Amino acid sequence: MIVVMYVVKVPNRGSPPAILLRESYREAGKVKNRTLANLSAWPEAKVDALARVLKGQPPPAADLDGAFEITRSLPHGHVAAVLGTARQLGLDELIDPEPSQLPGRGPAPGRLRRG
């Protein structure tokens, strides 16, 4: 049995339209409809999002501008690229695995081995 769910707005004479969640199915060769829920109390954006999802479309993207504040950003990609290239060239053997401390600059990621 194939069942299709959808959202429909039913006019209500002098009142606002009823927004209903319905399913459509076939029974003995006839198309039948069944109301599953009344969504009239839902906000319009929520109803639209549900209708889009039921149609197989992605939900509307939320406006996230200003929703997050970046407090700190650590670079990674270029460091990984340099390290990968150094490993391919065999230069990683020249980098001391022990962290070093540079005066006044804090810890350095590595130093060249001597000898």
Rounded Cα distance between 5 and 47, Å, is 13
Inter-residue contact 33 to 22 (CB < 8 Å): yes
* Residues of the chain with confidence (pLDDT) below 50: none
- What pTM value is reported for the model? 0.51
| Element (DSSP H or E) covering residue 21 | strand 15-27
Give residue 31's pLDDT. Answer: 93
Inter-residue contact 55 to 4 (CB < 8 Å): no
Residues paired with residue 31 on neighbouring β-strands, in sequence order:
26
Cβ neighbours of residue 19 under 8 Å, at least 6 residues apart? Answer: 7, 8, 9, 10, 38, 39, 40, 42, 47
Inter-residue contact 75 to 30 (CB < 8 Å): no
